Amino acid sequence: MPYVVTETCIKCKYMDCVETCPVHCFYEGENMLVINPEQCIDCAVCEEACPIDAIVSDSDLRGDADWLSINRQYSAVWPNILKKGIPPVDAKNWEGIGDKFTKEFSPQPGRRLSR
């Protein structure tokens, strides 16, 4: 089962997970990341690296949104990201906020900011 990025990442986008991925399956949106489920090898290192628990196995998904489909859809159009970038300056303010997908999700690709 592949791992997927969930709503928790929206507007936090810490990117600690990116450089841990041995197959480079992260893709960057304007305010979140996604994983290409076809590239994911289910190693779980990204799940452990995420400081806000935004990454889960698709077998553990809960909630209304179909995160496997969302990750698949946006990994096909967003740029691949290989290096940790700079998180939003207000990321801490968005931790723990619910219902971010319907209110805050952006379908726009990321800007490729890196450290």
User: Rounded to an integer, what distance in angstroms lies between the CA atom of residue 67 and that of residue 5?
Assistant: 7
Number of structural domains (the chain) is: 1
Per-residue pLDDT, 115: 40
Over residues 6-39, the pLDDT tens digits come to 999 999 999 999 999 999 999 999 999 999 999 9
Tell me the whole-structure pTM to 2 decimals. Answer: 0.91
Residue range of the domain that includes 72: 3-82
Q: 63: domain CATH number?
A: 3.30.70.20
Instruction: Walk along the chain (115 residues) in steps of 10 and give the mean pLDDT of each run.
Output: 94 96 97 97 96 93 81 97 94 95 95 53
Nearest to 54 by CA among 107, 100, 114: 100
Structural domain contains residue 92: no
User: Rounded to an integer, what distance in angstroms lies between the CA atom of residue 49 and that of residue 18?
Assistant: 9
Structural domain contains residue 75: yes
Structural domain contains residue 60: yes
